[in-house]
Amino acid sequence: MLINFTLNHKSVTIDAPPDITLLTLLRDYLGLTGTKEGCAIGECGACAVMLDGRLVNSCLTLAPQVSGRELVTIEGISQPDGRPNDLQENFIEYGAVQCGYCIPGMVLAGEALLKRNPNPTRQQIRRAISGNLCRCTGYQQIVDAIEATAKDRTAHAKS
């Protein structure tokens, strides 16, 4: 079936079977391998993407469910020239990246949070990433990176 949607700010139409997951559509049909497969049963958040601004697990979403909607993957949040955005830079700056496998989902969880709550508490940050598992970092540095980005963006918006 033909699936039409907005992917990383561009309109796309792709011919794909109706019974595949969004994760498979992204990785195998569209070549966007930044979205990772971890558990494939909705428990790790490695496959998280933003659908209409909300975080969803692409392993639990059927591909046709994105029809007519706006999807953003990790490939869609970098700066226009391809450099990492401010949140990604802060992940690097605060040592929030080790093996990296959870990071696309973590960054999108952070972006989805900052979209609906530009000035979150640390507890709200922890809650926002609670569906994303990281086996490496202990989470502290990830919370630090999201918190620093919120502060930078708020300061920038005021100036």
- 57 vs 113: CA distance, rounded Å: 15
- 65 vs 76: CA distance, rounded Å: 19
H helix runs in the chain, sequence order:
22-24, 86-93, 103-116, 122-128, 140-158
Query: What is the closest distance, in whole angstroms, from the C-beta atom of residue 18 to ligand FES in the complex?
Result: 19
Query: What is the closest distance, in whole angstroms, from the C-beta atom of residue 159 to ligand FES in the complex?
Result: 33
Tell me whether residue 25 or residue 44 sits nearer to ligand FES (CB atom): 44
Distances (CA, A) of 155 to 23, 86, 94: 36, 13, 19
Angle between helices 140-158 and 103-116 (to 10 degrees): 40
Tell me whether residue 7 or residue 129 sits nearer to ligand FES (CB atom): 129
For binding to ligand FES (CB under 6 A), which residues are involved? 37-40, 42-47, 57, 59, 97-103, 134-137
Tell me whether residue 7 or residue 36 sits nearer to ligand FES (CB atom): 36
Query: What is the closest distance, in whole angstroms, from the C-beta atom of residue 40 to ligand FES in the complex?
Result: 5
Tell me whether residue 15 or residue 25 sits nearer to ligand FES (CB atom): 25
Query: What is the closest distance, in whole angstroms, from the C-beta atom of residue 36 to ligand FES in the complex?
Result: 7
Q: What is the CA radius of gyration of the chain?
A: 15
Burial-class residue 133 by CB neighbours within 10 Å (0-12, 13-18, 19+): middle
Tell me whether residue 80 or residue 101 sits nearer to ligand FES (CB atom): 101
Query: What is the closest distance, in whole angstroms, from the C-beta atom of residue 92 to ligand FES in the complex?
Result: 12
